[in-house]
């Protein structure tokens, strides 16, 4: 209701609000987990870094907006573009049309999208000409881009991952939690061999894009991961890893990624954080989505995998701060996701592109016991696999609630795709 009062649900700003609320939700979960762990230790207290020494170690060279506008990555001039620039977006796209895949954020719920891809491999999962990833979706995106040969890696990561693989309790000078374990996880899986595969796919004309938020410029940055991989060498490998880390770096909770760039003959240190700050998933610049600037996507079909539920769910909320915060944020996130889906669908409809949507089914009943709970993620992964294998993995329609609180597609839409634990769910949301 508050979001509606201020017009966020009809404004493109709802995309940023939704991503920011996702970050706050994770803050609440992480702080709650940390506080609970502290309460269980005698005389324990939350760990906080010495702010004076932290400030000294985290000092950055001065640069201004003109420097930022001129900045690029040394040796890789096509490594990235502003996510809100239609001209730059157009230059980065493949020449030949084909199916596109957009993977949303969602934290631990990214296990759903990973499972869906694995299940879909057994049916008619296409080779995507463009794959985009935001936050948790960014960590899935390289494997979705490279195809079903990497399904085992997706399964291994998302069915064994725990909070200890993502963060360590204890604040740094720039975050509430330390995410050196996440860096280690990315380093383990992003290898020179993986980069060589991404480079080969890029050379064939396909594109892999990952979104971060440039915190200084307050603008989304889309990283052309294939171009980075194609440049080769250790510096390309480290940049590829840094971008994946940045896209999942919830500001204030996880440390940002500091990425070196060059501007007018000198080096600057950019701060990049969670790509979901610019929207739940990425298809095109905002001007293209809302139709204020005409540009035709070279896409035959658009597949969006949204790593959250979209239907309202009744749940008695306890009268404590974290429960109230989590419930309010969860409700707003669903509204934001539905709004973004509606924009993407309207774009596809205007351009005659098939639109296919998959999301966590409302009858999934797993309950997480904390952030990145391994049992919860494994169960959600298997729900995604089942949905991917079914005959109704994807449905077409603007995810909006009807008078009964269900997500209804327009009467002209039909259920398409290749799988859903989800078959009944897709049927129901399409009616």
pLDDT tier for residue 320 given thresholds of 50, 70 and 90: confident
pLDDT tens digit string along 151-161? 999 999 999 98
Q: Which of 208-212, 214-218, 387-391, 396-400 has the lowest mean pLDDT?
A: 396-400
pLDDT, tens digit (0-9, with 9 covering 90-100), for 183-228 = 999 999 999 999 999 999 999 999 999 999 999 999 999 999 999 9
Q: Is 257 helix (H, G, I), strand (E, B) or coil?
A: strand
**What mean pLDDT comes out for the span 49-67?**
65
> CA torsion 177→71→225→387, rounded to 10°?
50
- In 3D space, the residue among 59, 79, 169, 155 whose CA is nearest the CA of residue 116 turns out to be 155
DSSP label at 254?
B
Following DSSP, what letter does each residue of 39-105 receive, concatenated? HTSTT-------HHHHHHHT------HHHHHH-BBTTBTTSEEETT-HHHHHHHS-SS-EEEEEE--
pLDDT(177) > 50: yes
Mean predicted confidence (pLDDT) in 29-35: 49
pLDDT bucket at 18, cuts 50 / 70 / 90: very low
Which one is predicted more confidently, 391 or 404? 391
Distances (CA, A) of 207 to 223, 284, 390: 10, 13, 28
**Residue 17 or residue 313, greater confidence:** 313
- In degrees, rounded to 5, the angle at the alpha carbon of residue 415 between the alpha carbons of residues 411 and 420 is 140
Q: How confident is the model at residue 368 (pLDDT cuts 50, 70, 90)?
A: confident
Which 3 state secondary structure label does DSSP give 318? Answer: coil
**Mean pLDDT value across residues 282-296:** 95
Specify the pTM.
0.82
Mean pLDDT of 148-153: 95
Region 107-123: mean pLDDT is 94
Give the residue from 398, 394, 383 showing the smallest Cα distance to 419.
394
Longest dimension (CA), the chain: 63
Please state, rounded to an integer, the average pLDDT across all residues of the chain. 82
DSSP 123: T
Residue 11 — very low, low, confident or very high, per pLDDT cuts 50/70/90? very low
Yes or no: say if 190 and 237 are a contact pair by the CB < 8 Å rule. yes
The one-character DSSP state at 108 is G
* pLDDT given for residue 397 in this prediction: 52
Q: What pLDDT, on the 0 to 100 scale, is given for residue 422?
A: 39
- Kindly list the distances between the CA atom of residue 39 and the CA atoms of 42, 43, 44, 324, in Å, as whole numbers in the listed order: 7, 8, 7, 21
User: Does residue 50 register a pLDDT over 50?
Assistant: no
């Amino acid at each position: 209701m508050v979001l509606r009062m201020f017009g966020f649900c009809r404004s493109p700003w709802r995309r940023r609000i939704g991503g920011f609320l996702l970050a706050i939700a994770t803050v609440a979960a992480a702080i709650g987990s940390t506080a609970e762990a502290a309460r269980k230790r005698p005389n324990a207290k939350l760990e906080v870094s010495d702010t004076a020494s932290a400030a000294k170690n985290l000092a950055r060279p001065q640069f201004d907006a003109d420097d930022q506008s001129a900045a690029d990555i040394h040796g890789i001039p096509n490594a990235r573009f502003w996510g809100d620039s239609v001209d730059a977006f157009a230059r980065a796209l493949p020449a030949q049309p084909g199916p596109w895949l957009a993977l949303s954020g969602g934290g631990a719920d990214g296990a759903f999208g990973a499972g869906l891809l694995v299940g879909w491999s057994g049916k008619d999962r296409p080779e995507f000409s463009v794959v985009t990833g935001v936050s948790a979706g960014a960590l899935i995106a390289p494997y979705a881009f490279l195809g079903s040969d990497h399904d085992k890696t997706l399964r291994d990561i998302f069915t064994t991952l725990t909070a200890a693989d993502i963060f360590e309790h204890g604040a740094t000078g720039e975050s509430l939690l330390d995410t050196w374990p996440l860096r280690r996880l990315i380093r383990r899986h992003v290898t020179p061999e993986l980069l060589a595969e991404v480079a080969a796919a890029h050379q064939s004309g396909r594109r892999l894009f990952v979104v971060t938020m440039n915190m200084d410029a307050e603008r989304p940055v889309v990283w052309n991961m294939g171009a980075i991989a194609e440049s080769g060498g250790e510096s390309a490998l480290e940049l590829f890893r840094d971008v994946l880390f940045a896209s999942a770096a919830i500001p204030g909770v996880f440390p940002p990624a500091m990425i070196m760039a060059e501007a007018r003959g000198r080096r600057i240190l950019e701060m990049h954080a969670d790509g979901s700050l610019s929207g739940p998933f990425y298809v095109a610049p905002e001007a293209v989505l809302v139709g204020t600037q005409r540009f035709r996507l070279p896409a035959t079909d658009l597949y969006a995998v949204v790593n959250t539920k979209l239907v309202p769910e009744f749940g008695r909320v306890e009268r404590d701060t974290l429960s109230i915060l989590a419930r309010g944020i969860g409700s707003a996130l669903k509204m934001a996701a539905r709004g973004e889906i509606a924009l993407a669908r309207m774009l596809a409809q205007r351009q005659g592109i098939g639109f296919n949507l998959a999301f966590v089914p409302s009858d999934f009943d797993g309950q997480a016991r904390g952030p990145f709970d391994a049992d919860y993620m494994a169960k959600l992964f298997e729900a995604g696999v089942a949905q991917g294998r079914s005959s109704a993995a994807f449905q077409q329609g603007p995810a909006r609630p009807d008078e009964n609180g269900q997500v209804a597609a327009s009467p002209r839409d039909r259920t398409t795709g290749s799988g859903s634990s989800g078959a009944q769910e897709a049927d129901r949301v399409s009616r």
